[in-house]
Amino acid sequence: MIRFFCGLTAILAVAFGAPAMASNDAYDYSFTSIDGGPLAMDQYKGKAVLVVNTASRCGFTYQYEGLQALWQTYRDKGLVVLGVPSNNFGGQEPGTETEIKEFCAVNFSVDFPMTEKVDVVGSAAHPMYRWMAEQAGGKAPQWNFYKYLIDPGGHVVALFPSQTKPDAPELAAAVEKVLPK
């Protein structure tokens, strides 16, 4: 009987254009890394992940420095900072992946993982960004350097607007709360 209902649900989902299975956590997603290789989120299972949409020509670009410091402080304790370049806001990330990576390394010594440039809002938004916005009550990024915090179980547990600096006490407290034990 259970098989019947599961099969019926899958058929109805396909018939009405919905995905057969909704994602339950961040580990169901993957990106392409800024270097062009696969970047599967499941490699971060059991870690806290701060996902940040970034841009090189934004008034908040200085936050790269704070993100790098946050990464250096907490990476050995189980935090991953994941930079996601996006050109969605004001055309402030026009460069190629090679240019973005070089800019981040030269100007901010960034060595935390970064993805290829993707959309983070709208109908073309990366699937993980659509999922995170849904998990955060419909709150999609409003600008560059918007931050989602994912716990070790793969769930969105906090979000921080662009104005929240990486060294803000409330961000550090949220990170420390979800670091793996």
Question: What's the pLDDT tens digit per position in 116-160?
Answer: 999 999 999 999 999 999 999 999 999 999 999 999 999 999 999
- Which alpha helices (H) appear in the chain, and where do they start and end? 2-15, 63-74, 97-108, 127-135, 169-178
Q: Does 155 reside within a domain?
A: yes
58: helix, strand or coil: coil
Q: By residue range, what is the domain housing residue 66?
A: 23-178
Task: Check pLDDT > 50 for residue 81.
Answer: yes
Domain at 134, CATH number: 3.40.30.10
Q: Does 163 reside within a domain?
A: yes
* pLDDT tens profile 24-60: 899 999 999 999 999 999 999 999 999 999 999 999 9
When divided into structural domains, the chain yields a total of 1
* Residue 50 burial (10 A CB sphere; 0-12, 13-18, 19+): buried
Q: Does 9 reside within a domain?
A: no
Residue 181 has a pLDDT of: 84
Q: What residues are labeled active site?
A: 58
Q: Which long-range contacts (CB under 8 A, 24 or more apart) does 88-91 make?
A: 88/53, 88/119, 88/120, 88/121, 88/122, 88/141, 89/55, 89/58, 89/141, 89/143, 89/144, 90/55, 90/58, 90/144
